[in-house]
Amino acid sequence: MRTAKHPFGFIGCVELRQALDKHALDERELMDRLEEVPPGSVFYHTHGYFLRHRPLTTAYGNDFARWAAVEVRDQALAERLAVVDPFGFPDLELLREELVTIIHDHLRRLNTVPRAELGGAFHFQQSHIVQVELGPLATTLAEFRDGLAAVDASAIYFHMVEARTRLGRPSGDFAEWLRTSLELPALADRIERIDTYMTSLERVRARVLSLVDQALEEEAA
């Protein structure tokens, strides 16, 4: 069995949430505040959604869409925001611009600004990620598979989302290690292409495991 040049260490993460002193009671305020908040807050309410909202609540894709649907009851805006795939943007400023443009275009079609009448305000937040090294290091594909199957789901988030978006590793850590350290470029490409949007961390884990199992079977054959 192939041995990696450098071992892979799984890293889990814990999110410490911080409230920013910015909130919105209607959709125009949401747009205005969204233009002002730090990039970390855009990240928290979009990519971070997948860390917090486990299988039960991934229906909206980001916090802005969820607020529009649940608190404002504006399904049209919720749908338009929900379809924005945060993983499709190379940086957070472009993602912010897309979200602001969607709200702006939506408001231009309306005579009144929809407001959270019965529900609550949108409270902007950001988070601090505390990294946690997990488990033994993996030096082979089989060890990588065993580690991946057992680690806390936050490790899937860290290596597939945080690494790509905030840590400047656009392929994600799994694909990068498989390509450069274990020299399995085909498997790395397949993992890099996994759609992490609108699904749960457990489903992403299952897809990576399935691809790794397939590679292990091919190797054994």
Where in 102-161 is the site for another protein (CB under 8 A)?
A: 118-121, 123, 125, 128, 130, 132-135, 150-154
Answer yes or no: are the C-beta atoms of 31 and 100 closer than 8 Å.
yes
Site string for another protein, 64-93 (x = CB under 8 A): ------x-----------------------
Q: Taking CB under 8 A as the rule, does residue 21 contact another protein?
A: yes
Place of tokens 């495991």: 209
> Going by C-beta distance under 8 Å and a sequence separation of 6 or more, which residues neighbour residue 121?
23, 24, 25
Of the candidate residues 1, 2, 6, 19, the single one contacting another protein (CB under 8 A):
19
Angle made by CA atoms 175, 177, 178, in degrees to the nearest 5: 65
Q: What is the DSSP letter of 159?
A: I
Stretch binding another protein (CB under 8 A), from 12-20, 33-41, 105-113, 204-212: 12-20
Task: State the minimum distance, in angstroms, from the CB of residue 3 to another protein.
Answer: 26
Joined tokens for residue 92: 């957070």
> How many angstroms separate the CA atoms of 184 and 206, rounded?
19
Cα of first residue to Cα of last residue in the chain, in angstroms, is 12
Nearer to another protein, 129 or 182 (CB): 129
Nearer to another protein, 18 or 75 (CB): 18
Residues listed for the chain: 221
Place of tokens 């229906």: 59
Stretch binding another protein (CB under 8 A), from 25-33, 52-60, 82-90, 103-111: 52-60
Binding site for another protein (CB under 8 A): 12, 14-19, 21, 23, 54-57, 70, 118-121, 123, 125, 128, 130, 132-135, 150-154
